[in-house]
A and B are shown apart, each in its own frame.
Chain A
Amino acid sequence: MLRIENLTKVYPNGTEALTDVSFEVADGEFLVVIGLSGSGKSTLLRCINRLVEPTSGRIIFNDVDVTAAKGAEIRRIRRQIGMIFQQFNLVKRSSVMTNVLTGRLGYVSTLSSLLGIFSAEDHARAAASLEQVGLSEKAHVRADSLSGGQQQRVGIARALMQEPKVVLADEPVASLDPVLAHTILKYLEQLNKERGITVLCSLHFLDLVHRYATRVIALKDGKLVFEGTPDQIDDAQFKTIYGQEAERISVI
Chain B
Amino acid sequence: MAQLNQPLKTSNSSVLASWSSLVIPGLGQFILGRRWRGIVIFLMIPILGYITNWAQVRKHIGQVEIGSLITSWLWLPFILFWLWNVLDARSLVTGKTYNTLFGVLFAAVILYVTAWNVTDVKLDRLISRIHDAQLVMTDLVNADILTININGTDQICAWECLSGAAGDLLAGRPAKGVIRVSDNMLDIIGRVKVDRPPRWMVVVGWAENGVEINQYVPGTLIETIAMGLLATIFSTILAIPFSFLAAHNVMSRVPGGSVIYYVMRALLNIVRAVDTIVWGLILIVWVGLGSFAGMIALTIHSIAALAKLFSEEIEHIDTGPVEAVRATGANLLQVIRYAIIPQIVPPFLAYTLLRWDINMRSATVVGFVAGGGIGFFVVETIRLGAYPQYGAALWAVAVVIIIVDYISARWRDKILRDQPRETPETGRRWPTILRTTILALLGLVAFAYCWVVTKVNPAALFEPAPTFLRLVGDFLSIDLTPAILDSVIQQILVTIFQAMLATTLGAIFALPFSFLAARNLTGRSPATAWIYILVRSIFNVLRSIEALLYVAIFVFWVGIGPFAGMLALAVTTFALIGKLFSEAIENIDPGPIEAVTATGANIVQVVNYAILPQIVPPFVSYLIYQWDINIRMATIIGFAGGGGIGLTLYTYFGSLQYHKAGTVVAIIVIVVALMDFTSAKLREKLV
Residues of A within 8 A of B423 (CB): 95, 140-142
Which of B46-54, B231-239, B329-337, B636-644 lies at the binding interface? B329-337
> How far does the Cβ of B387 sit from chain A's closest Cβ, in whole Å?
52
What mask results when residues 422 to 448 of chain B are scored 1 for a CB within 8 Å of chain A, else 0?
A: 111100000000000000000000000
> How far does the Cβ of B314 sit from chain A's closest Cβ, in whole Å?
15
A186 at the interface (CB under 8 A from B): no
B255 at the interface (CB under 8 A from A): no
Which of B323, B333, B338, B422 is the one whose CB lies under 8 Å from A141? B422
Residues of B within 8 A of A168 (CB): 327
Q: Is the CB of A158 within 8 A of B324?
A: yes
Residues of B within 8 A of A105 (CB): 325, 328-331, 334, 338
Residues of B within 8 A of A75 (CB): 329-331
Which of A3-11, A22-30, A106-114, A213-221 lies at the binding interface? A106-114
Given contacts A78-B328, A93-B342, contact A113 B323 (CB under 8 A): no
Q: Which residue of A lies closest to B320 (CB)?
A: A89
B346 at the interface (CB under 8 A from A): yes
What mask results when residues 140 to 153 of chain A are scored 1 for a CB within 8 Å of chain B, else 0?
A: 11101100000000
Q: Is the CB of A79 within 8 A of B320?
A: no
B326 at the interface (CB under 8 A from A): yes
Most chain B Cβ neighbours within 10 Å, of A51, A76, A89, A103: A89
Q: How far is the CA of A85 from the CA of B325 in the complex (A)?
A: 11
Instruction: List 11 additional A-B contacts (Cβ < 8 Å) besides A51-B323, A102-B339, A141-B422.
Output: A51-B326, A51-B327, A76-B329, A78-B326, A89-B323, A91-B338, A105-B328, A105-B338, A106-B329, A140-B424, A155-B324
Q: Is the CB of B418 within 8 A of A93?
A: yes
Which of B324, B329, B333, B424 is the one whose CB lies under 8 Å from A89? B324
What mask results when residues 76 to 96 of chain A are scored 1 for a CB within 8 Å of chain B, else 0?
A: 111111110101111111110
A162 at the interface (CB under 8 A from B): yes
Q: Is the CB of B334 within 8 A of A49?
A: no
Tally inter-chain residue pairs, CB-CB below 8 A: 104
Residues of A within 8 A of B418 (CB): 93
Given contacts A91-B321, A140-B425, contact A79 B339 (CB under 8 A): no
Q: Is the CB of B327 within 8 A of A91?
A: no
Q: Is the CB of B342 within 8 A of A113?
A: no
Give 22 A-B contacts (CB < 8 Å), ordered by A residue: A49-B327, A51-B323, A80-B329, A83-B327, A89-B321, A90-B321, A92-B318, A93-B342, A93-B343, A93-B346, A94-B342, A102-B325, A102-B339, A105-B325, A106-B328, A107-B329, A110-B333, A113-B337, A116-B337, A140-B422, A142-B422, A144-B420
Residues of B within 8 A of A95 (CB): 423
Q: How far is the CA of A91 from the CA of B424 in the complex (A)?
A: 18
Q: Which residue of B lies closest to A143 (CB)?
A: B420
Given contacts A93-B342, A102-B338, A140-B423, contact A85 B324 (CB under 8 A): yes
Q: How far is the CA of A89 from the CA of B338 in the complex (A)?
A: 12
Q: How far is the CA of A72 from the CA of B422 in the complex (A)?
A: 36
Residues of B within 8 A of A144 (CB): 420
Contacting residues of chain A (39-94) with chain B, CB-CB under 8 angstroms: 49, 51, 72, 75-83, 85, 87-94
> How far does the Cβ of B552 sit from chain A's closest Cβ, in whole Å?
48
Residues of B within 8 A of A141 (CB): 420, 422-423
What mask results when residues 337 to 349 of chain B are scored 1 for a CB within 8 Å of chain A, else 0?
A: 1110011011000
Most chain A Cβ neighbours within 10 Å, of B321, B324, B339: B324
Which of A80, A81, A89, A114 is the one whose CB lies under 8 Å from B334? A114
B417 at the interface (CB under 8 A from A): no
Q: How far is the CA of A158 from the CA of B329 in the complex (A)?
A: 12
Q: Which residue of A lies closest to B423 (CB)?
A: A95
Number of interface residues of B (CB under 8 A): 28
> How far does the Cβ of A123 sit from chain B's closest Cβ, in whole Å?
9
> How far does the Cβ of B320 sit from chain A's closest Cβ, in whole Å?
4
Q: Is the CB of A85 within 8 A of B323?
A: yes
Q: Which residue of B lies closest to A155 (CB)?
A: B324
> How far does the Cβ of B422 sit from chain A's closest Cβ, in whole Å?
6
Residues of B within 8 A of A140 (CB): 422-425
Q: Which residue of B lies closest to A97 (CB)?
A: B423
> How far does the Cβ of A42 sit from chain B's closest Cβ, in whole Å?
11
B9 at the interface (CB under 8 A from A): no
Q: How far is the CA of A88 from the CA of B425 in the complex (A)?
A: 24
Residues of A within 8 A of B681 (CB): none
4 shortest interchain CB distances as A-B pairs? A106-B329, A79-B329, A89-B320, A89-B324
Q: Which bracket fits the contact residues of A? A: 35 or more
B421 at the interface (CB under 8 A from A): yes
Residues of A within 8 A of B421 (CB): 142
Q: How far is the CA of A144 from the CA of B321 in the complex (A)?
A: 13
> How far does the Cβ of A223 sit from chain B's closest Cβ, in whole Å?
25
Q: How far is the CA of A89 from the CA of B325 in the complex (A)?
A: 9
Q: Is the CB of B328 within 8 A of A79?
A: yes
Residues of A within 8 A of B420 (CB): 93, 141-142, 144-145
Residues of B within 8 A of A83 (CB): 324, 327-328
Contacting residues of chain B (114-169) with chain A, CB-CB under 8 angstroms: none
Residues of B within 8 A of A78 (CB): 326-329
Q: Is the CB of B338 within 8 A of A94?
A: yes
> How far does the Cβ of B325 sit from chain A's closest Cβ, in whole Å?
5
Residues of B within 8 A of A79 (CB): 328-329
> How far does the Cβ of A3 sit from chain B's closest Cβ, in whole Å?
20
Q: How far is the CA of A168 from the CA of B328 in the complex (A)?
A: 11
Residues of A within 8 A of B325 (CB): 91, 102, 105
Q: How far is the CA of A74 from the CA of B565 in the complex (A)?
A: 64
Q: How far is the CA of A87 from the CA of B337 in the complex (A)?
A: 21
Residues of B within 8 A of A104 (CB): 328
Residues of B within 8 A of A51 (CB): 323, 326-327
Q: Is the CB of B324 within 8 A of A90?
A: yes
> How far does the Cβ of A129 sit from chain B's closest Cβ, in whole Å?
13
Q: Which residue of B lies closest to A115 (CB)?
A: B337
Q: Which residue of A lies closest to B338 (CB)?
A: A102
Residues of B within 8 A of A102 (CB): 324-325, 328, 330, 338-339
Residues of B within 8 A of A77 (CB): 329
Q: Is the CB of A113 within 8 A of B334?
A: yes
Residues of A within 8 A of B425 (CB): 140
Q: Is the CB of B338 within 8 A of A81?
A: no
Given contacts A94-B338, A142-B420, contact A162 B326 (CB under 8 A): no
Q: Is the CB of B328 within 8 A of A110?
A: no
Residues of A within 8 A of B318 (CB): 92
Q: Which residue of B lies closest to A146 (CB)?
A: B420
Q: How far is the CA of A209 from the CA of B34 in the complex (A)?
A: 49
Most chain A Cβ neighbours within 10 Å, of B328, B330, B343, B418: B328
Contacting residues of chain A (3-21) with chain B, CB-CB under 8 angstroms: none
Residues of A within 8 A of B345 (CB): 93
Q: Which residue of B lies closest to A95 (CB)?
A: B423
Q: How far is the CA of A161 from the CA of B324 in the complex (A)?
A: 13
> How far does the Cβ of B424 sit from chain A's closest Cβ, in whole Å?
7
Residues of A within 8 A of B331 (CB): 72, 75, 105, 110
Residues of B within 8 A of A161 (CB): 328
> How far does the Cβ of B251 sit from chain A's closest Cβ, in whole Å?
16
Residues of A within 8 A of B422 (CB): 140-142
Residues of B within 8 A of A155 (CB): 324
Residues of A within 8 A of B323 (CB): 51, 85, 89
Residues of B within 8 A of A158 (CB): 324, 328
Q: Which residue of A lies closest to B337 (CB)?
A: A114
> How far does the Cβ of B221 sit from chain A's closest Cβ, in whole Å?
38
Residues of A within 8 A of B342 (CB): 91-94
Q: How far is the CA of A142 from the CA of B421 in the complex (A)?
A: 6
Residues of A within 8 A of B321 (CB): 89-92
Q: How far is the CA of A190 from the CA of B478 in the complex (A)?
A: 74
Q: How far is the CA of A55 from the CA of B549 in the complex (A)?
A: 63
Q: How far is the CA of A168 from the CA of B423 in the complex (A)?
A: 30
Q: How far is the CA of A153 from the CA of B230 in the complex (A)?
A: 46
Q: How far is the CA of A75 from the CA of B332 in the complex (A)?
A: 10
Residues of A within 8 A of B337 (CB): 113-114, 116
Most chain A Cβ neighbours within 10 Å, of B330, B333, B343, B425: B330
Q: Which residue of B lies closest to A102 (CB)?
A: B338
